[in-house]
Amino acid sequence: MDTLYRVFADSPEYLARKNTPFSPTKVTHSELRAVIPQALFEKNTLKGLLYVARDVICAVLVYKLGVLIDPTTALLISRFGVSPLISIVFKWTSWAVYWYCQSVILAGWWCMAHEAGHGNISPHEWVNHLVGFSLHTVGLLLDAV
């Protein structure tokens, strides 16, 4: 029993760190900004819109694959003679994978729309408004369905 306890016990390094008082670093905002390459602060409309297009295309492709889940399940039974139990497991697993992938993509949409609202997609304010409004609107419509 003592061996099992030692496996889950805290390490000496962790115990020493835990007993040391915390003090945050003394880095100023300007010092932090100085070590980041200046090119990372430049907004690029084309690059921002390419990221938006990439995520929209990914969402459409995953949707098209999701539409094929039920017909594929029926095809497994009718053409390939797969047992109904295996086809049901395939169907539910496919839907779980679909919803996971689509939720990650649409969460990315929300993040891009949010960042566009802060003016981080493009140096042009109207592009940021258009991207933010469009992605948030589509996200709300998909949520309502």
Residue 21 lies in a domain: no
Residue 4 lies in a domain: no
Residue 75 lies in a domain: yes
Alpha-carbon distance of 111 to 136, in angstroms, equals 10
Alpha-carbon distance of 142 to 57, in angstroms, equals 16
Alpha-carbon distance of 56 to 108, in angstroms, equals 10
Q: Which residue range(s) make up the domain with 116?
A: 42-144
pLDDT at 65: 97
Residue 89 lies in a domain: yes
pLDDT at 112: 95
pLDDT at 23: 87
Q: Mean pLDDT, 10 residues at a time, over the chain (145 residues)?
A: 75 90 90 93 94 96 97 93 93 97 95 94 95 90 73
How many domains does the structure of the chain reveal?
Answer: 1
Q: How many whole angstroms from its chain centre is CA 23?
A: 33
Residue 71 lies in a domain: yes
Q: What are phi and psi of 95, to 5 degrees?
A: -65, -40
Residue 35 lies in a domain: no
